[in-house]
Amino acid sequence: MINHLLIPSKFEDFDEAWMNAALAAHLVDVNITKVMAEPFPHPGQTADIVAIHVEYSSSTPLPSKFIAKIAATDQSTMNNVVKPLDLYYKEYSFYHEAIEGINYPSCYYSAFDSDSQALVLLFEDISHLDSPSWNPSLQQVETAVGKLALFHARWWNDASLKAKPWLTAQSDPALMGMYVDLAYAAIPTVDDLMDEDCSYLNEIVRTFVENKTAALNYINSRPYTFVHGDYHPKQMFFGKPGSTEDFVMIDWQLPLRGPGANDLARIVVLGMDTETRRKQEPRLMRKYLKLLSENGVNDYQMEDLLEDYRIGIFTSVAIHYLAAVTDIQRFIDEVTCLGLDWQEMANYRLKRALQDHDGHELMAVWRNWQS
C-alpha cells in the first residue's frame, strides 16, 4: 500500500504538517502546534524508532507523546532480515486487524510501501510502563507466561488463522525453510562472534537444512495457535506496582501460525539465567498448561508441550543466528549496559536449554519423520 502522505524515513520528517495530516482523523476542533522528534534512546534491532512530543492548540484526550517505527537505515538489516522475511508487511497487516486475547499499543497511523519497504507505524507512547529490556524479574516472566497462555488458548487450532495471508504457517518452506537457510549461512559469523564452541547448535541448524521437508512436515503436524514469534522481555511492558495498568506486548513483525511453545520457550529461556531457568521451568510449564486447560484446551498434555518446546528453542536459535548478520553492535551495547553477558543472551542460554531438552532427539525426529 502507498499512502498519500510521505512515509517518513528519518526523525526530521515528523514535522507539524505531517503529524497534523497523519492524525487528522483523531483531531477534533484541535490541531498540533509544535512537534519535537528525536531518535529513541534505545534503538530497535530491525527498525528505527523515533520519539515524538507534541503540543496542541487546546486540550484533547490525544497523547502528548508518540513512538514511531520506521524502516531501518542499516542496509544489512534490511537485506538479510527485513526483506527476506517480509517483516514490515506482517506488522503493518497486524495493526489492521482486531486481534483479541492480548494487549498491544494503540496505532494512530500506519503506511507501508511494499516496493520500497518504506514503513511508518505511529503508536501511543507506553514508556511510562516498566520495560525490563533483557533483564526481567522472575515475577515479570511469570506474568508474561500467564498472559501468553490466555492468548494462545483464545486462538488454539482456530481455522480462521489460516485465512490471514500475512500470518504464515511456521511450516511454510518460504518462511521457516528460508529462515533456517539464512541461519545456516550465518554460521561462520556466529563462530567468529562467540568465544564458546558453537558446534552443537551449528549441527542442529545444519540437520534441519539437510532434512528440511521432513522437519517442516513435522512442525505442520503439531497443534497451532497465534504465535507472536519474538516473545522476549525487551518486547514487553508491565504496569508498575500499585497501578491498574496491565501487560502490553509490542513488535508484531514475526507473527506465525504454529506451536505455541515457540513463544513459551523464548520468554522462559531468555528471561532467566540458566540456573534459574532450570529451577523455574517445570513450574512455569505447568502454569501454562493449567491456564490452557482452564480456557478450553483440554487435549494438550506435558508430553505434547515438551515436544513443541524443543521446536521453540530451536526457532529462537535460528532467530539469533539471523541477528548475528544484522547490526549486532546495538544488541551488544544494550545488553552490556544492563550488566549482562551479551554472548550468553545471544547464544549460550539457548545452547544449554537445547542440551537440557535433548536437541539430538529433535534431530533424530527430523531425520526419521514421515508425514
Same domain membership, residue 174 and residue 148: yes
Query: For the chain, how far is it from start to end, CA to CA, in angstroms?
Result: 38
The count of structural domains within the chain is 2
Same domain membership, residue 55 and residue 155: no
Kindly state whether residue 298 falls inside one of the protein's structural domains.
Answer: yes
Q: Any idea what the Cα angle at residue 259 is, between residues 182 and 324, rounded to 5°?
A: 25
Kindly state whether residue 131 falls inside one of the protein's structural domains.
Answer: no
Same domain membership, residue 101 and residue 24: yes
Same domain membership, residue 196 and residue 72: no
**Contact 249/270 with Cβ under 8 angstroms?**
no
Query: Model confidence over 280-303: pLDDT tens digits?
Result: 999 999 999 999 999 999 999 999
The whole-number mean pLDDT for each consecutive block of 10 residues of the chain, a chain of 371 residues, reads 76 96 94 96 84 96 96 89 91 93 95 95 93 95 97 98 95 91 95 97 97 96 97 93 83 96 98 98 98 97 98 96 87 94 97 97 94 62
Domain span at residue 33 reads 11-124
pLDDT at 21 (0 to 100): 96
Of the three residues 95, 124, 153, the one that is the final residue of a domain is 124
Kindly state whether residue 85 falls inside one of the protein's structural domains.
Answer: yes
Kindly state whether residue 3 falls inside one of the protein's structural domains.
Answer: no
CATH number of the domain where residue 286 is located: 3.90.1200.10
Find cell 531425520 and name the residue: 367
Same domain membership, residue 187 and residue 97: no
Same domain membership, residue 164 and residue 113: no
Kindly state whether residue 130 falls inside one of the protein's structural domains.
Answer: no
CATH number of the domain where residue 16 is located: 3.30.200.20
Same domain membership, residue 71 and residue 215: no
CB-count exposure of residue 326 (10 Å: 0-12, 13-18, 19+) = buried
Of the three residues 63, 94, 124, the one that is the final residue of a domain is 124
Same domain membership, residue 251 and residue 346: yes
Same domain membership, residue 236 and residue 100: no
Same domain membership, residue 317 and residue 189: yes
Kindly state whether residue 24 falls inside one of the protein's structural domains.
Answer: yes
Of the three residues 81, 97, 124, the one that is the final residue of a domain is 124
Sheet containing 118-124, strands listed edge to edge, beginning at the edge strand earlier in sequence: 32-39, 47-56, 65-71, 118-124, 107-113
**Contact 362/211 with Cβ under 8 angstroms?**
no
CA–CA dist 54, 35 (Å, integer) = 5
Same domain membership, residue 190 and residue 114: no
Kindly state whether residue 5 falls inside one of the protein's structural domains.
Answer: no
**Contact 122/95 with Cβ under 8 angstroms?**
no
The one-letter amino acid code at 281 reads E
Kindly state whether residue 1 falls inside one of the protein's structural domains.
Answer: no
Same domain membership, residue 154 and residue 82: no
